[in-house]
Amino acid sequence: MSLHSGLLTDLYELTMAAGYVQTGFEARATFELIVRNLPARRNYLVAAGLEQALEFLEGVTFGSDEIEFLKKHSAFGGVGREFFEYLAGFRFTGDVWAMPEGTVFFPGEPVLRVTAPIAEAQIVETYLLATINFQAMIASKAARVVTAAQGRPVIEFGTRRAHGMESGVLAARAAFIGGCEGTSNVEAGRRFGISTYGTQAHSWIMAHEDEEEAFRKFLEIFPDHSVLLVDTYDVRAAVEKILSLGRKPRGVRLDSGDLAADSRWVRKRLDEAGWKDVLVFASGDLDEDRIASLLEQGAEIGGFGVGTSLATSNDAPALGVIYKLVELERGGQIHSAAKFSEAKVTYPGRKQVLRCTGADGKYSEDVIALEEEKLAGAEALLVPVMRGGKRLGQAAELNVARERCLENVARLPEGVKSLTGMAGYPVRHSVRLEELMKQVRSRVERVARI
Amino acid sequence: MSLHSGLLTDLYELTMAAGYVQTGFEARATFELIVRNLPARRNYLVAAGLEQALEFLEGVTFGSDEIEFLKKHSAFGGVGREFFEYLAGFRFTGDVWAMPEGTVFFPGEPVLRVTAPIAEAQIVETYLLATINFQAMIASKAARVVTAAQGRPVIEFGTRRAHGMESGVLAARAAFIGGCEGTSNVEAGRRFGISTYGTQAHSWIMAHEDEEEAFRKFLEIFPDHSVLLVDTYDVRAAVEKILSLGRKPRGVRLDSGDLAADSRWVRKRLDEAGWKDVLVFASGDLDEDRIASLLEQGAEIGGFGVGTSLATSNDAPALGVIYKLVELERGGQIHSAAKFSEAKVTYPGRKQVLRCTGADGKYSEDVIALEEEKLAGAEALLVPVMRGGKRLGQAAELNVARERCLENVARLPEGVKSLTGMAGYPVRHSVRLEELMKQVRSRVERVARI
């Protein structure tokens, strides 16, 4: 299997591409990737996944066995050899603009814009959607969980509940962009340079004849990094056993029970023993709500391990991400395209997102404008990242994306950053974009009546 | 990156393995993979993902660069070279029993059982959980969607909303096991031999100056396989344009609007024109509830394309799947292990699941028993699939798993098969298993008091 196989797409992308090639439909198309609506309990989203999207665009090809597979597919029975020759020479040659990873964004704003020969733009659609949808969704969830933790480190622990192993590796990446400190996923550590963390499982305790022996042996092997799991039998008894060993672990982990009460007891007991620097770490079906509630209850927890909710964004496990044709350049003519079906309106033309900042340094408003528009003092969020199928510049450091996310979130108006309120952030369309929309609407209505 | 890298795991699996190796803890452990509870709106689950789990177990190794990565990791600072030598020679050498893919199962029943040297069993835990959790969850959702469609074909269309591309490919596989007819994901077609389907996108229609031309050109290239999208502007006008072309498509697709009313109108209009064999296909945020409701409303839909809900199981995007130590063989002694923390009880010992059938041919009860127990007339669901790290027999045909699922679901009591009721299927523990549980409980309580 090639990691950049052109078959990593929906069949209709390939049949439409065949249609364009076989009918000699020559056009340069611009598609924009946007999220239609905010999922429940989200006031903002965080861009992520661009790096994997660009890797795919740079690498995508059709191997000869992949072309053979399509030749034998009944759907391509009537398709001539021009199309298969086209696939044999296929490379993505388009231009891409995108918001850098870690940028906060809102519904209706293009996160990524592709301009390419229409068949190319179509073939890569599915990969781009799957990649950006997933990582943006996870980064957005992570930003909420990290906000709830109020500066305490959050470690992503969710691979086992992710949608397959590769999904777990990429969820770790996206959660890091969203502000997590690290992950339990070792491959994500190796591949992306994210810090990896681990403690011990109940099975380690259960495999030993007694709990004290289980702790002692672990401390012997990992004198500086042991985070000991204390809830297998009885939390208080376990903490006393560790204290009696006289050897200070890096921390202890609570994974069940009354985390607020137990953490307070454990913290107090460790402090009394002079072990103020021993971390009390908590895990067990945590999410932003439980973390916020624990801290309100005065839990004495120094760090959180968060699994399912970070790896799957379980309260909103998909974004309404779409990839819409906004412009077609054909025979020297520019045609703007838009869609008007009820509740599925998309705006035409190549766009830019201009973000304004108020006197307090907080973001005040976004304006979705035409590409060439400017607005004094506003930041243009879409930047060129690929030209003629080649990346512009190096892949950004993942740390930079994480810092960008933390800084962007910090600059949101308080109501928008809030975990419980549903304050809307102001996003408007520029006057020129609204005018173009009107023109396209009247043209489309004429066409539809014909 | 190796597809079978030993780094595809949580860090604590590797630190625990280091602990076992460095302390010379020699034991053969048995872990069972079970789902703790049914998610909301599920009466049963469908086993899937075994094939990818076994591929990983057969292939997992640690490359020299992966070992170098661990040597430089601060967590392994105090770990001696025995462990890294152990990793350099690492192969999974254990035995595996599992329910064949497509088998219906219930909470508490082991779906998969691993017996191996404890460090090996621990290192592969994360991969097994991520794989089985994900595919079983999708197959279980698919079984519901397929049930709702009452024999009409369901095509999985969800890659763009899946948790990354690889997740989309595997979701297509699991949805097929759950009874779907095929998928839009081409790579899933090539890799697993699943039938792939596609229609056309709104962008095809929008890229052409008029809708009629867009239909005509597609029909020219795909005379036998065109499924034309009729909702871009006006459904009825679009259908009239297609009829006026006089060239029969394979079908038409509705993707928005009032699918019940539109489908009835379209079906009637096509029938009047003598196009009774032209399929009316529907898509657009469908799930089992919407499909059931459409059919109740008398929708005339011949097939369904289902995206987000199949690719993400969005109403239950994770299963509470766990991997629990149930037995330890050490120094010739067998120790059964169990867990008793509140709401997290697991039963000890190597188990088998015995499924009983009533006089009507329907399943009547499952008994979770000890491995060697028998029950007259009952089917033993766990079968040996790997011995000494080698697979037993060929990989099963995916079609066989799909047939098994359809047959298993058909044999469920009506209330359990129901989409809306919450009838429980009877699952009990055998008398001998309950006795073992009592023994282990009293032993553990002694240990915990010490």
The 10s digit of each residue's pLDDT in A13-47 is: 999 999 999 999 999 999 999 999 999 899 999 99
Interface contacts (A, B; CB < 8 Å): 336
Question: What domains can be seen in chain A, in order of their start residue?
Answer: 11-138+319-349+381-449 (3.20.140.10), 198-282 (3.20.20.70)
Does A77 or B269 have the greater pLDDT score? Answer: B269
Do B198 and A131 lie within an 8 Å CB cutoff? no
The verdict on B115 touching A (C-beta cutoff 8 Å) is no
> Which pLDDT score, from 0 to 100, does residue A209 have?
83
**pLDDT > 90: percent of chain A:** 90
Q: Classify residue A150 by burial, with Cβ atoms within 10 Å: 0-12, 13-18, 19+.
A: exposed
**In angstroms, what separates the C-alpha of A408 from chain B's closest C-alpha?**
25
Identify the weakest region by mean pLDDT among A123-127, A195-199, A285-289, B339-343: B339-343
**pLDDT > 70: percent of chain B:** 98
Looking at residues B389-401, what average pLDDT do you find?
Answer: 93
Q: How far apart are CA A389 and CA A392, in angstroms?
A: 9
Given a cut of 80, is residue B158 above it in pLDDT? yes
Looking at residues B369-386, what average pLDDT do you find?
Answer: 97
> Which pLDDT score, from 0 to 100, does residue B449 have?
59
Closest by CA position to B325, among listed B27, B11, B18: B27
Do A10 and B160 lie within an 8 Å CB cutoff? yes
Does A446 or A295 have the greater pLDDT score? Answer: A295
Q: How many other CB atoms are found less than 10 A from the CB of residue B358?
A: 11
Q: How far apart are CA A406 and CA A101, in angstroms?
A: 12
- H helix or E strand, kind and range, residue B357: strand B351-357
**B329 is written with which tokens?**
């063989």
Do B204 and A19 lie within an 8 Å CB cutoff? yes
Given a cut of 90, is residue B340 above it in pLDDT? no
> Which pLDDT score, from 0 to 100, does residue B341 have?
64
Q: Check residue A382 and give left, alpha or beta (phi > 0: left; psi -120 to 50: alpha).
A: beta
Residue at token pair 């679901």 = B409
Does A449 or A330 have the greater pLDDT score? Answer: A330
> Which pLDDT score, from 0 to 100, does residue A445 have?
77
> Which pLDDT score, from 0 to 100, does residue B367 have?
98
The verdict on B71 touching A (C-beta cutoff 8 Å) is no
Q: How far apart are CA A107 and CA A36, in angstroms?
A: 5
B300 residue type, one letter: E
**ipTM of the prediction greater than 0.95, yes or no:** yes
DSSP secondary structure letter of residue B75: G
**pLDDT > 70: percent of chain A:** 98
Please tell me which of the candidates B5, B163, B324 has its beta carbon nearest to residue A134: B163
Do A207 and B325 lie within an 8 Å CB cutoff? yes
Bridge partners of B104? B46
> Which pLDDT score, from 0 to 100, does residue A346 have?
87
Given a cut of 70, is residue B120 above it in pLDDT? yes
Ramachandran angles phi, psi of A85, nearest 5°? -65, -40
Q: How far apart are CA B2 and CA B439, in angstroms?
A: 44
> Which pLDDT score, from 0 to 100, does residue B146 have?
98
The 10s digit of each residue's pLDDT in B28-47 is: 999 999 999 999 899 999 99
> Which pLDDT score, from 0 to 100, does residue B448 have?
61
Nearest CA in chain B to A312: B317
Please tell me which of the candidates B7, B206, B220 has its beta carbon nearest to residue A187: B7
**pLDDT > 90: percent of chain B:** 90
Q: How far apart are CA A111 and CA B169, in angstroms?
A: 24
* Mean confidence (pLDDT) of chain A: 95
Given a cut of 70, is residue A449 above it in pLDDT? no
Does A71 or B449 have the greater pLDDT score? Answer: A71
Looking at residues A187-213, what average pLDDT do you find?
Answer: 94
Handedness of CA B214, B217, B219, B221 (dihedral sign): negative
> Which pLDDT score, from 0 to 100, does residue A55 have?
97
Given a cut of 80, is residue B337 above it in pLDDT? yes
Residue at token pair 């329910």 = B99
The verdict on A61 touching B (C-beta cutoff 8 Å) is no
**A248 is written with which tokens?**
């200070």
Residue at token pair 């092997």 = A221
What residues 392-431 of chain A have any CB closer than 8 A to a CB of chain B? none
Cβ atoms of residues A126 and A60 within 8 Å: no
> Which pLDDT score, from 0 to 100, does residue A447 have?
66
The verdict on B318 touching A (C-beta cutoff 8 Å) is yes
Q: How far apart are CA B442 and CA B284, in angstroms?
A: 56
Contacts of A84 (CB under 8 A, 6+ apart): A67, A70, A71
Do B75 and A222 lie within an 8 Å CB cutoff? yes
Global pTM value: 0.97
> Which pLDDT score, from 0 to 100, does residue B78 have?
84
* Mean confidence (pLDDT) of chain B: 95
Cβ atoms of residues B6 and B62 within 8 Å: yes
